[in-house]
Structure 1
Amino acid sequence: MKFTIRYLLLLLALLVLVHPATLRAAEEPVVPVKDTVTMVDIGAKSCIPCKMMAPILEELKVEYQGRAAVIFIDVWEDRSQGPRFGIQSIPTQIFYDRHGKEAYRHVGFMDKEKIKKWLDMLLERK
């Protein structure tokens, strides 16, 4: 009986440890989005320039819906994403063409007009 209880407690502890990692892997964004111009902003919800960009990104998601993907990744919530994208500083914006090739990378705050310029230019490319 004691063995069964210990075994169940050990199993429960393992599930608690593995479960969050499994959830993070399942939620990992697909970047770049297949056959779609993609802009990914890599930052953190609590970083000042990232906070300044948040409303801009929300507007662009609506404005470019169906034409381009605008994605935010919080590297403080999922630390594996920084190395995945080779991030040295946040925020960093990476633009991909519709073939999934990185076209441009910018570090720091990026205003709406500059983001639109890159998205529009990549949308014009075939």
Structure 2
Amino acid sequence: MSRRLAGLVCGFLLLAAAAFAADPAPVPVVPAPGKVTLVDLGAKACVPCKMMQPVLAAIEARYADRAAIIFIDVWEHRDEPQKFGLRVIPTQIFYDKTGKEVSRHEGFLDEKPIADTLDRLLAE
């Protein structure tokens, strides 16, 4: 195999690998069946959405096994904003154990109001 052909093959393989790596992870089921669910819809590159990441990590650790905490990047999953009726990101949507939407917030949301809402839904 010539060097040029080998270079082209390697270049093609790198492009193919990059294309597969760029595929977003599958969207999780929302709401999680039988669980209180918080879904945060945002984008990894959005500044307020980035500010939500440590809050969501803390909430996820605090409510592990009791509530589903889901993040969906709407820039990677372009059909999701329409499904959820989004107007702005980030948006947090809370679902009760039966899967009914009970609360929605647009913009950054701190840990305390999230915890208060989850505690109320878990107590029901």
The structure in which a higher percent of residues are helix is 1
**Residue number in structure 1 paired with 2:53:** 54
Letter in 2 for 1:81: E
Task: Give a deviation string over 1:49-102, Cα, whole Å, max 9, x none.
Answer: 110010110111111011001110000011111101111100000000000000
1:10-49 matches, within 5 Å, as 27-49=26-48
SS of residue in 2 equivalent to 1:30? coil
Cα distance in 1, alignment partners of residues 60 and 75 from structure 2: 22
Secondary structure of the 1:69 match is: strand
Code of the residue aligned with 1:54 in structure 2: it is Q
Alignment deviations for residues 24-47 of structure 1 (CA, whole Å, 9 cap, x no partner) = 6x8121000001000000000111
- How many aligned positions are there? 105
* Structure 2: runs of 5+ lacking an equivalent: 1-15
Counterpart of 2:116? 117
Q: Distance in 2 between matches of 1:57 and 1:28?
A: 17
TM-score by length of structure 1 reads: 0.78
Separation in 2, partners of 1:28, 1:78: 8
Q: Which residue of 1 aligns with 2:11?
A: none
Any runs of at least 4 consecutive aligned residues in structure 1 with deviations exceeding 2 A, and if so which? none
Match of 2:86 in 1: 87
TM-score, normalised relative to structure 2: 0.80
1:92-116 C-alpha deviation (Å, 9 max, x unpaired):
0000000000000000000000000
The equivalent of 1:67 in structure 2 is 66
3-state DSSP of counterpart to 2:81: helix
Counterpart-to-counterpart distance in 2, 1:108 and 1:29:
22
